[in-house]
Structure 1
Amino acid sequence: MATVKYRIRGKSKQNTSIYIYLSTGRGNFVEVASGFTVNSKDWSKTTNKPKQNSEENRKTFSDLNKLEKFIYDEVNDANSKGVLIDAYWLRQKINECFKRVKKTDNTLLTNHIQFIIDNANTRKIKGSDKIGLSERRVLGYKSFLKVIQDYEKVIKKKIHFLDINKPFVNKFTNWLLNTRNYATNYAGKIVDNLKTVALDAKSMDIDCNPYVNKIESFRERNQDRYIVTLSFEELEKIRKADLENEALINARKWLLIGCEIGQRASDLLRLTKEDIRYSKGSYYIDIEQKKTGKNVTIGVIAPHVIEIIENGFPYPVSSQKLNKHIKKVCEKAEITEKIEGKKYDKESGRKKLKKYRKCDLITSHCFRRSFATNYYKKIPTPILINITGHSKESLFLEYINRREDKDENANLFMKFYEEIHKTKKPELKLIKNASNEN
């Protein structure tokens, strides 16, 4: 059974701190400052509370009684939920009891997330000499903040950086996956954000639990991923499909361009004809990728894309409308075979795995993956990586759900070697006659 007591330290006559002592049995106890003070001569050893000999002391006496009852109730609630009761928990409960937590408290996880959001325009981008977080990244932090606020309502406490230990991360992860039913990759990104924010706080000399350095993100296994792409043959069917609706014709143009330039939808849909450069008989597209800040140049050679550029560049459309229209485009092109994949389910509010028509699984995200998949092993991987903007080959291969094929890499080397040397004139070699060597 829990026991709550108060005591003072030292014999100072003025402003002696009153400490709260909480024992939860079996030798487990914590003690922290309550935030109240008293003149030591006004401390009663009988009640272990201030003497009620002044208005101020009577107020403190009443507040300590209030806190004592509050802590007993919270201990019972914590025990029923298996919450760890430690010094950090006790300090938080004191703050909750008297509503002392201020928005300026930089030890709170939510406050530091908000700090990052509020100062997004002056944040230095990791691995770059630029400052200012992208709009997409800021939206990511806002979503993360909402998730943390929701979790705080569940555990009924504000999260301090010192709270973020291994048990906390394990319980938080379990809540993300099993209560919120988030997709594995999305839950992994949230945990990754948790580590990022905690390490940022630590870099600003905010006290953090040492475990924040050991937080590990996660993602679904390759065998659990369902990647949908459009092959060259399917793209040809789409190109030839009979379409009359102007919106569908426009969506088809974006689809065909997207599958040939390998960019994210956020970059693709920002393109205008003015972004296309004509030089020495060829078309080039120069893009600063919104997500990574990388500058890439893509050469356009596919005849059907050149025709779109020259004879009717697509007009702007939102990604939501594009995703709706391209499903219809693919249906018209008879891309309707049943394949396994994940699709949003209105009833559960989550993506559901089962067999769907392929046209119903096509989204603008398929464009970049189709480009990477279709040209993999046909064009050297470093060139593809330079276009897609992946930082290294391992990430690119994971993106298209492939493993490195070392034999194929060797074959590709031999192919290019032959191309280099096939026009080289053979050299005449002088072969000595062994009989004339003397």
Structure 2
Amino acid sequence: MATVVFRVRSKANKNVSIKVRLLNGKTTDIELNTGFTINPKDWSETTNRPKQNNAVNKQIFSDLKKLESFIFENLNKDLGNGILIDAYWLENTINECFKRVEKTDTGLVTNHIQYIIDNASTRKVKGRKNLGLSKSRINSYVNSKNILAEYQKHLKKQIHFFDINKSFIDKFSNWLIKNKKYSINHSGDQIKNLKAVCLDAEKDNIPVNTYVKNIEVFSESNEDRFIVTLSFAELEQIRTCKEIKTAGLINARNWMLIGCEIGQRGGDLLNITKDNIRYNNGNMYLDLIQQKTNKKVTIGIVNPHIIDIIKNHFPYPISTQKLNVHIKKVCELAEIDEMVEGKKWDEKTKRKKLDFYPKHELVTNHSFRRSFATNYYKKMQTSILIGITGHSKESLFLQYINEREDKDANANLFIKMWEIMNKETEVKDEDKPSQLNVV
């Protein structure tokens, strides 16, 4: 049975700390300062409480009674949830009881996320020589911090690294998906970010729950993903559409046509200028450094229509938000209206709703990159496409376009190469002079 004991450990004629000791079975014996002080002459050794001989001591008496009840209440609850009961837990409970948790507390998850954000420009990223997190990564951390702050309000407590156990992850995931109605992928990203933050804190010698290494991230299965792409035929339909007349829509169309031909993310696409273009032996090349991965990419531009746009009608800068609005109108005018399954923002629920919609309503700037990868898959060697899109390996590229690895294609290629290799060997053998046996 758990016991809470208050005491002072000095006889000095001055104010000293009041300590609280928590005992629970043979495994738990923790003592910490409560944050309150009292002169030992005003402390009763009989009741282990302040003497109620003045208003100040009466208030301390009341506060200690409140703390005792708060400790028991949270102890029973957290033991049931498998939370580790240690000095860190007791310190957090005391602070929470009196709303004393300081913003500088490094044990708070949201504070460490803010630390990562504040130092984003100098942080090292695995696999990259240059320092600094990408803008999209910073935004992802900002979003995660805001979501965790909202979850703290839901829990009515601040979240410490020791709180991150299996029970917490299960409940947090459930809240993200069922209460907030976030998509599986967005919810999975929050768990992924939380794990990354915990592991980062551990590297900084901040105590974390040992469970964090076992946190499993999740995402939609390939069968649940809805990828909107534009085929070569649809792109030609868009290119030749005469109903696209205003300067804004023509500009958006040019960005779209370039985007579907170079396979880059929206942010990288819209940062391209004529300075990214170079020529060599009559060929046009586009050089850029991907913001997300910091990879240097070179794309050969061979489509005559894209060459013409770059040379004579290079699109002017536009935000991704405006581009997404304009390209939907461009596709609508071009009658890209096939009914396809996908997710679209619902103003009533403030969430994306899965349904069937005309394709032009679902097109975004991210469709450009997927269209490039999908259109050229199996028409070009996958290694060439990966070199342009920047995917680190083929399996990720195939997952990106919802394709499974074609084992037969690999086997057929081996057969073909084997036949070519052996034909060459046969030709060489035929060219050798015949050897006569001399008796």
The interval holding the TM-score normalised by the smaller chain is: 0.7 to 0.9
| Structure 1 Cα separation of the partners of residues 414 and 105 of structure 2 | 59
Residue of structure 1 equivalent to 2:397: 396
Residue of structure 1 equivalent to 2:110: 110
Q: How many aligned positions are there?
A: 430
Asked whether 1:298 is paired with 2:299, we answer yes
Contact 2:50 2:61 in 1 (8 A): no
Counterpart code for 1:119 = N
Deviation larger for 408-417 or 349-358: 408-417
Counterpart code for 2:7 = I
Residue of structure 2 equivalent to 1:215: 215
Residue of structure 2 equivalent to 1:185: 185
- Secondary structure class of the residue paired with 1:19: strand
Residue of structure 1 equivalent to 2:11: 13
Contact 2:382 2:394 in 1 (8 A): yes
Counterpart code for 2:383 = P
Give deviations 1:100-136, integer Å, cap 9, x for gaps.
Answer: 2212211111111111111112111222221122222
Alignment of 1:36-47 (within 5 A): 36=36, 43-47=43-47
Residue of structure 1 equivalent to 2:279: 278
Residue of structure 1 equivalent to 2:151: 151
| Structure 2 Cα separation of the partners of residues 395 and 225 of structure 1 | 14
Distance 1:237 1:130, change over 3 A: same
Alignment of 1:31-430 (within 5 A): 32-33=31-32, 34-36=34-36, 43-51=43-51, 59=56, 62-69=59-66, 72=69, 86-87=85-86, 89-242=89-242, 243-412=244-413, 426-427=427-428, 428-429=430-431
Deviation larger for 370-379 or 119-128: 119-128
Give deviations 1:308-359, integer Å, cap 9, x for gaps.
Answer: 1122111111111111111111112211011111111111111100000011
Deviation larger for 85-94 or 204-213: 85-94
Contact 2:7 2:49 in 1 (8 A): no
- Secondary structure class of the residue paired with 2:219: coil
| Structure 2 Cα separation of the partners of residues 296 and 67 of structure 1 | 65
Contact 1:67 1:97 in 2 (8 A): no
Give deviations 1:179-235, integer Å, cap 9, x for gaps.
Answer: 111111111111111011111111011111111111121101111111111111111
- Secondary structure class of the residue paired with 1:128: coil
Distance 1:400 1:381, change over 3 A: same
Per-residue deviation, 1:50? 3.2
Contact 2:17 2:35 in 1 (8 A): no
| Structure 1 Cα separation of the partners of residues 336 and 423 of structure 2 | 42
| Structure 1 Cα separation of the partners of residues 186 and 135 of structure 2 | 19
Per-residue deviation, 1:379? 1.1
Per-residue deviation, 1:425? 11
Distance 1:68 1:202, change over 3 A: same
Question: What TM-score, normalized to structure 1?
Answer: 0.88
- Secondary structure class of the residue paired with 2:288: strand
- Secondary structure class of the residue paired with 1:293: coil
| Structure 1 Cα separation of the partners of residues 311 and 104 of structure 2 | 57
Counterpart code for 1:293 = N
Counterpart code for 2:155 = I
Per-residue deviation, 1:78? 9.1
| Structure 2 Cα separation of the partners of residues 35 and 5 of structure 1 | 16
Counterpart code for 1:113 = I
Give deviations 1:281-315, integer Å, cap 9, x for gaps.
Answer: 11111111111111111110111101111221111
Per-residue deviation, 1:414? 5.7
Contact 2:17 2:38 in 1 (8 A): yes
Runs of at least 5 residues in structure 1 that lack an aligned partner in the other structure:
none
Deviation larger for 81-90 or 12-21: 81-90
Distance 1:309 1:16, change over 3 A: closer
| Structure 1 Cα separation of the partners of residues 250 and 421 of structure 2 | 42
Distance 1:66 1:325, change over 3 A: same
Contact 2:50 2:60 in 1 (8 A): no
Distance 1:182 1:283, change over 3 A: same
| Structure 1 Cα separation of the partners of residues 22 and 432 of structure 2 | 98
Per-residue deviation, 1:143? 1.1
Counterpart code for 2:327 = I
Per-residue deviation, 1:5? 3.9
- Secondary structure class of the residue paired with 2:294: coil
Distance 1:409 1:96, change over 3 A: same
- Secondary structure class of the residue paired with 1:284: strand
Question: What TM-score, normalized to structure 2?
Answer: 0.88
Distance 1:64 1:234, change over 3 A: farther
- Secondary structure class of the residue paired with 2:6: strand
Give deviations 1:219-264, integer Å, cap 9, x for gaps.
Answer: 0111111111111111111111112122111111111100110000
Counterpart code for 2:325 = K
| Structure 2 Cα separation of the partners of residues 420 and 249 of structure 1 | 51
- Secondary structure class of the residue paired with 1:198: helix
Per-residue deviation, 1:46? 2.7
Distance 1:174 1:27, change over 3 A: farther
- Secondary structure class of the residue paired with 1:168: helix
Counterpart code for 1:299 = G
Counterpart code for 1:62 = Q
Instruction: Tell me the percent identity.
Output: 52
| Structure 2 Cα separation of the partners of residues 305 and 421 of structure 1 | 42
Give deviations 1:49-69, integer Å, cap 9, x for gaps.
Answer: 13457x7xx746633422422
- Secondary structure class of the residue paired with 1:237: helix
Contact 1:108 1:160 in 2 (8 A): yes
| Structure 2 Cα separation of the partners of residues 141 and 369 of structure 1 | 25
